[in-house]
Copies of this chain bind each other. A is one copy, B any other.
Amino acid sequence: MLIVMKADATSREIDNVANAIRGSGLRAHVLPGAQRTAIGITGNDGVINAAAFENLPGVAEAIRVTKPDKLITLDIRQEKTVVRIGDATIGSDELAIIAGPCAVESRAQAFAVAEAVKRSGARFFRGGAFKPRTSPYAFQGLGEEGLRILAEVREAYGLKIVTEALDESGVDLIERYGDMIQIGARSMQNFSLLRRAGRSPLPVLLKRGLAATLEEWLLAAEYIMAEGNYQIVLCERGVRTFAQHTRNTLDFAAIPAVRSVSHLPIVIDPSHGTGKNYMVASMARAGVAAGADGLLIETHDQPERALCDSTQALTLGQYEQVVREVRAIHETLLSLTTVTLG
């Protein structure tokens, strides 16, 4: 059930409704919007008695929700969610650039890349400390040592740290060292991990699974939101198809599709989405032109020596060029009154 508050409802009235919901043994999700606040109710086994809430002061209406997703929908929030880490945002008019190496390999490597990322004007640094690798014998990341290096990068450059958690203990560590929890494609339906991230104070970057439908992806976000964490960014990183000229097939239509049903921001990963260095610029431009809120780009100071995904990482020079190109397109979109961003 969804409780829509009146436009002029006071915060006291909102708190009052939320408390009444909690008092009934249910969970209240307060989502403020530009026009009015809505309160999602979860935790019910059967039908909720609307009468208990719809007559409380400040309530405009109570709406029965029969869809399997509730909190990620435009029903509860019409404006796009803006995810904020300090003064950096994802989902606003600003194009969010999240860049860095596939894996943190050393302090020197991380700093060399961070230097270029900072210089490009990007606000987010992404690097893996725990790497999900297909083979048990492949490089699995530096672990906590990698996280410590990332924390140093934050200190030195003021970049926000985005890094992947593979399990619940990984979330514990990121809460200590990082700024945003990435949940990777292979973990998109690791429900224990989703619930743990839902109880974190950090925002979550939720990658789409290799063969996830739009609904499954959004319901994975719903798992996180149902636990009380509403700061979620979706990341399209390509799906698995018969096509073999790329590692994955980027599904750009996910951008308008997500927009049409959800308030969550969405970014594109042209690096994993293609697996090929020479395609990244083209696909990054496409993502921004399609209306993505940002990009996740892999770059490395020495791509040919990268310990993972070396075929897709951009050189620092290529990376800076791509950022210039996508910013030019983003500026163009902002000047078009017919395109809605932010």
Contact = CB atoms under 8 A, between A and B. Distances in A.
Nearest to A69: B135
Nearest to A133: B191
Nearest to A255: B282
Contacts of A234: none
A253 interface: yes
Interface residues of A, number: 77
Nearest to A268: B286
A328 B336 CA distance: 8
A136 B291 contact: no
B191 A213 contact: no
Interface in A241-284: 241-246, 249-257, 260, 273-274, 276, 278-279, 281-283
A190 interface: yes
B191 A135 contact: no
A211 interface: yes
Nearest to A287: B286
Given A329-B289, A338-B324, A249 B245 contact: no
A289 B286 contact: yes
A7 interface: no
A182 to B, nearest CB: 15
Contact of A211 (B135, B136, B242, B257): B242
Contact of A137 (B68, B189, B339): B68
A124 B196 CA distance: 33
A156 interface: no
A282 B314 CA distance: 26
B135 A68 contact: yes
B250 A279 contact: no
Q: How many copies does the complex hold?
A: 4
Among A289, A291, A324, A332, chain B packs the most CB atoms within 10 A around the CB of: A289
A115 interface: no
A339 B336 CA distance: 22
A116 interface: no
Given A136-B226, A325-B338, A252 B253 contact: no
Interface string A182-226: 000011011111000000000000000111011110010011001
A324 to B, nearest CB: 7
A5 interface: no
A80 interface: no
Contacts of A243: 213-214, 239, 251, 253
A6 interface: no
A42 interface: yes
The residue among A193, A211, A239, A243 with the most chain B CB atoms within 10 A of its own CB is A243
A134 interface: yes
Q: Lowest 10 CB-CB distances: which A-B pairs, in order? A: A289-B289, A211-B211, A286-B290, A286-B286, A186-B189, A285-B289, A68-B135, A167-B192, A211-B240, A245-B257
13 contacts: A133-B191, A134-B215, A166-B192, A167-B167, A211-B211, A242-B242, A249-B251, A249-B253, A252-B282, A256-B278, A324-B336, A324-B338, A332-B332
